[in-house]
Amino acid sequence: MATASASNPLKEHPAAATAILSVVGYALVIGTFAGLVPKSVFPELTLQQVNRLSDAIALVNTINVFVIAAGWRWIRRDEVRKHATAMVMAFTLIIVFLILYLTKIGGGGTKEFVGPAFAYYPYLAMLAIHIILSIVSVPVVLYALILGLTHSEHEIRTQTPHKKIGRIAAAAWLLSLSLGVVTYFLLNHVYGWEYTVSAAGALVAPVVGL
């Protein structure tokens, strides 16, 4: 990956940079769900627009699954440049996802799963794992990315835990995104849902789909 100068603060303090960026990301998401971010920041969406955003989010995440898998395969074959390109692209797609997701929640609302019990509980379990991994993977992914972008290939291999952290990040990322896509299809195309408009100052409905 790219080489940074020794005076680069990201290179000198990757853990601190990871913590700061993680807090910013968490604050944006929590602030949007809790109605702390002004509604004027988001466009007012119709249900049809919310559905289109849900479709777009699922498409972005599906593409990202293949991008991350390709990046993982390339590094196992020691194709470092291809791996680096894939990981940067994957992170870019995560940013696109975040923008679409916050727009959907902040300007629209949420969908609650409506279906039989035999599908409802597996859906909840997959959704819970998806959400937990999404939360946990943020600092891990950021840390691996910062190490990769600020160190030379030799430094990455000999002076950083990038390889170990990267494996954890990629595995968590892949599973989270894959489960997110599965729950999207269950919610939007297999079973039914009820729509709840987001309310400023109120936490999100108990069961949130893509």
Q: What's the pLDDT score for residue 202?
A: 39
Nearest residue to 74 via CA among 85, 65, 59, 63: 85
Band of residue 205 on the pLDDT scale cut at 50, 70, 90: very low
Pick the CATH number of 9-197 from 1.25.10, 3.30.70, 1.20.120, 2.60.120: 1.20.120
Q: How many CB atoms lie within 10 A of CB 39?
A: 15
d(CA 1, CA 4): 10
Residue 200 has pLDDT above 50, yes or no: no
Which pLDDT tens digit goes with each residue over 20-58? 999 999 999 998 888 888 878 889 888 899 999 999 999
Per-residue model confidence (pLDDT) at position 207 = 37
How many CB atoms are located within 10 Å of the residue 185 CB? 12
Choose among 126, 132, 141: nearest CA to 179: 126
Give the three-class secondary structure for 193. strand
The DSSP secondary-structure symbol of 40 reads: G
pLDDT 10s digits, 80-131 = 999 999 999 999 999 999 999 999 988 888 888 998 999 999 999 999 999 9
- Do 84 and 1 touch, CB atoms closer than 8 A? yes
Taking residues 134-149, report their average pLDDT. Answer: 95
Predicted local confidence at residue 18, as pLDDT = 96
**Both ends of the chain: CA-CA distance in Å?**
33
For the purposes of burial, counting CB atoms within 10 Å of the CB of 52, is it exposed (0-12), middle (13-18) or buried (19 or more)? Answer: middle
Q: Crossing angle, helix 47-76 and helix 162-185, to 10 degrees? A: 150
Confidence of residue 198 (pLDDT cuts 50, 70, 90): low
| CB 126 within 8 Å of CB 179 | yes
Whole-model pTM? 0.86
Average pLDDT over residues 170-175: 95
Residues 6+ apart with CB under 8 A from 123: 113, 115, 183, 186, 187, 191
Task: Give the domain ranges of the chain.
Answer: 9-197
Residue 28 CB-half CA count within 13 A: 16
